[in-house]
Amino acid sequence: MRFTTRTIVAAVAFITSAGPASASVIVGFDPPAGIPSGNDFTTELGSLGLTQVATSGISLVLDEDSIITFDVLGSESGFDDGFQASGLTFQEFTSFLNSFASPTAVGSASFLAGDLAGLFGFTSSGGLSANVGDPGLALFLGANAVSGDPWSVFYLGFDDQLAGPDGDFDDLIVRATVAPATAVPEPATWAWRSSALGLWASRCGVRAGSRCREPHRDSCTNKKGRG
């Protein structure tokens, strides 16, 4: 197989740009139900493919050290509700907020691989707080969601009622996006990069006083050989 300089350089560029595999969270939940009609954001959630809600048996486990970015999508509550995660804080002071079209950034935080229980959750000025596994926190799901699957994005809903919860989990809705904690290439990436560079050097005969150029076709020209 004949390799041109252009082909080799393109291969090296592709390898250099390669990053680590995507991080994800393993999501567990009991059988879900349809999102209640009382939820004020059923249309917006449906546009994201989210038609179900799980309210019990929820677990979130990171498969590797990760950075999670949190964004508020909406809120409908008579209380001032908030969200906290590893030093990040969001507080709303309005009875209705719809930011699905332009999410309100809470920020990004680093988390170690493992169970996320107790590491982030919701607060309320007049209701109960809720963390992962508590009755007031729910997961919005797609129609084909399966407990135990890895996800890179998940959606949290909060019910702040102190007694007799309405169960619509629209008091505060937060999107969480998982990304690897580092962008340093994996060992395999470095190995491929080294191989590609070695192939390029061999093909072009790189050595002191030599250069490789390709004005119209692949060629290697030695400076010393030019009259």
Tell which residue, 65, 39, 27, 59, has the closest CA to residue 142.
Answer: 27
Domain count, the chain: 2
H-type helices in the chain, by residue range? 5-17, 42-47, 187-204
User: The whole model's pTM is what?
Assistant: 0.73
| Same domain membership, residue 109 and residue 70 | yes
Q: Which of residues 146, 165, 180 is at a domain's end? A: 180
- Domain around 211: 5-19+185-225
| Same domain membership, residue 197 and residue 85 | no
| Same domain membership, residue 196 and residue 88 | no
Q: What angle do CA 8, 13, 18 make, to 5 degrees?
A: 125
| Same domain membership, residue 221 and residue 137 | no
| Same domain membership, residue 10 and residue 87 | no
| Same domain membership, residue 212 and residue 128 | no
| Same domain membership, residue 101 and residue 9 | no
Q: Which of residues 146, 164, 180 is at a domain's end? A: 180
| Same domain membership, residue 197 and residue 143 | no
Task: List C-alpha distances in Å: 227 to 183, 210, 214.
Answer: 48, 15, 19
Phi-psi region of 9 (alpha: psi -120 to 50; beta: other; left: phi over 0): alpha
- Tens place of pLDDT for every residue, the chain, 227 residues? 555 555 544 444 444 444 445 899 999 999 999 999 999 999 999 999 999 999 999 999 999 999 999 999 999 999 999 999 999 999 999 999 999 999 999 999 999 999 999 999 999 999 999 999 999 999 999 999 999 999 999 999 999 986 667 789 999 999 999 999 985 554 554 454 555 445 545 555 544 444 545 444 444 444 444 44
Rounded to whole angstroms, the Cα distance separating 47 from 100 reads 10
| Same domain membership, residue 144 and residue 78 | yes
| Same domain membership, residue 146 and residue 90 | yes
| Same domain membership, residue 158 and residue 48 | yes
Q: Which of residues 180, 198, 215 is at a domain's end? A: 180
